[in-house]
Structure 1
Amino acid sequence: MSTSYRNRIQEFKVALGEEKINLKALRELCFGGIPFEGGIRAQCWKVLLNYLPLDTSLWESFLKKQRELYSQFLKEMIIQPGIAKANLGLAREDVTLEDHPLNPNPESRWNNYFKDNEVLLQIDKDVRRLYPDMAFFQRPTEYPCKLILDPQNEYETLRRRVEQTTLKSQTVDRNRSGVTNMSSPGKALNLYPSNEYEVLPNGCEAHWEVVERILFIYAKLNPGIAYVQGMNEIVGPIYYTFATNPNGEWKEHAEADCFFCFTNLMSENRDNFIKSLDDSQCGITYKMESVFSMLKEKDMELYLKLQEQNIKPQYFTFRWLTLLLSQEFLLPDVIRIWDSLFSDQDRFHFLILVCCAMLTLIRDQLLAGDFTVNMRLLQDYPISDVHTILIKAKELQDGS
Structure 2
Amino acid sequence: MVSLRGKMQSKVLLFALFGHRLTLTVHVLVAQLLLGYLPKDRALWEQELAKKRSQYEAFKDEFLPNTVGGSSTTGGSEGHSDGNAEHVEHGFLDRSEIAQDDHPLSLGKTSQWNQFAEHSEMIEQVDRDVKRTHPDIHFFCGDSSFAKSNQDSLRNILIIFAKLNAGIRYVQGMNEILAPLFFVFRNDPDYKNANFAEADSFFCFVELLSGLRDNFCQKLDNSVVGIRGTLSKLSQLLKKYDGELQHHLEITTEVNPQFYAFRWITLLLTQEFNFADIIHIWDTLLSDPDGPQETLLRICCAMLILVRKRLLAGDFSSNLKLLQSYPPTNIGHLLYVANKLQ
- Report the TM-score when normalising by structure 2: 0.84
Give the superposition deviation at 1:85: 4.3
Alpha-carbon distance in 1 for matches of 2:116, 2:147: 26
Alpha-carbon distance in 1 for matches of 2:171, 2:230: 19
- 1:21–1:205: structure 2 CA closer, same or farther, 3 Å change rule? farther
Identify which of structures 1 and 2 has the higher relative contact order when contacts are C-alpha pairs closer than 8 Å and 6+ apart: 2
Give the superposition deviation at 1:287: 1.1
Give the superposition deviation at 1:93: 5.5
Give the superposition deviation at 1:300: 1.7
Query: Which of 298, 302, 319 is equivalent to 1:374?
Result: 319
Give the superposition deviation at 1:94: 4.5
> Is the 1:31–1:344 Cα contact (8 Å) retained in structure 2?
no
| 1:180 alignment counterpart | none
| 2:102 alignment counterpart | 103
| 2:8 alignment counterpart | 26
Equivalences for 1:209-228 in 2 at 5 Å?
A: 209-228=152-171
- 1:55–1:378: structure 2 CA closer, same or farther, 3 Å change rule? same
Query: Which of 362, 381, 387 is equivalent to 2:307?
Result: 362
> Is the 2:12–2:287 Cα contact (8 Å) retained in structure 1?
yes
Alpha-carbon distance in 2 for matches of 1:81, 1:123: 12
| 2:172 alignment counterpart | 229
Alpha-carbon distance in 1 for matches of 2:202, 2:61: 15
Equivalences for 1:188-207 in 2 at 5 Å?
A: 199-200=143-144, 205-207=148-150
- 1:28–1:88: structure 2 CA closer, same or farther, 3 Å change rule? same
| 1:296 alignment counterpart | 239
Alpha-carbon distance in 1 for matches of 2:152, 2:130: 8
Equivalences for 1:124-163 in 2 at 5 Å?
A: 124-138=127-141
| 1:152 alignment counterpart | none
Equivalences for 1:166-185 in 2 at 5 Å?
A: none
Alpha-carbon distance in 2 for matches of 1:71, 1:316: 39
Alpha-carbon distance in 2 for matches of 1:285, 1:356: 16
Alpha-carbon distance in 2 for matches of 1:396, 1:58: 37
- 1:91–1:388: structure 2 CA closer, same or farther, 3 Å change rule? closer
The 3-state SS of whatever aligns with 1:137 is coil
> Is the 2:140–2:148 Cα contact (8 Å) retained in structure 1?
no
Q: CA-to-partner distance for each residue in 1:263-315, whole Å, 9 max, x for gaps?
A: 01111101101122112111111111111111111112212211211111111
> Is the 2:131–2:151 Cα contact (8 Å) retained in structure 1?
yes
Query: Which of 248, 267, 279 is equivalent to 1:323?
Result: 267
Pair 1:285 & 2:271 matched: no
- 1:91–1:267: structure 2 CA closer, same or farther, 3 Å change rule? closer
Give the superposition deviation at 1:331: 1.0
> Is the 1:99–1:110 Cα contact (8 Å) retained in structure 2?
no
| 1:14 alignment counterpart | none
| 1:117 alignment counterpart | 120
Alpha-carbon distance in 2 for matches of 1:323, 1:206: 23
Q: CA-to-partner distance for each residue in 1:19-74, whole Å, 9 max, x for gaps?
A: x9833212211233385436111111001111111111111111100000000000
Alpha-carbon distance in 2 for matches of 1:29, 1:222: 34
Pair 1:391 & 2:332 matched: no
| 2:40 alignment counterpart | 54
Alpha-carbon distance in 2 for matches of 1:323, 1:267: 14
Q: CA-to-partner distance for each residue in 1:70-128, whole Å, 9 max, x for gaps?
A: 0000001012676954994789954846999x933865766544432221111111110
> Is the 1:48–1:343 Cα contact (8 Å) retained in structure 2?
yes
> Is the 1:81–1:113 Cα contact (8 Å) retained in structure 2?
no
Alpha-carbon distance in 2 for matches of 1:370, 1:111: 47
Alpha-carbon distance in 1 for matches of 2:52, 2:247: 51
| 1:335 alignment counterpart | 279
How well do the aligned residues superpose, as a CA RMSD in angstroms? 2.9
> Is the 2:24–2:187 Cα contact (8 Å) retained in structure 1?
no
- 1:288–1:353: structure 2 CA closer, same or farther, 3 Å change rule? same
> Is the 2:67–2:123 Cα contact (8 Å) retained in structure 1?
no
Aligned residues: 317
Alpha-carbon distance in 1 for matches of 2:222, 2:54: 39
Alpha-carbon distance in 2 for matches of 1:254, 1:238: 9
Alpha-carbon distance in 1 for matches of 2:48, 2:98: 38
> Is the 2:140–2:147 Cα contact (8 Å) retained in structure 1?
no
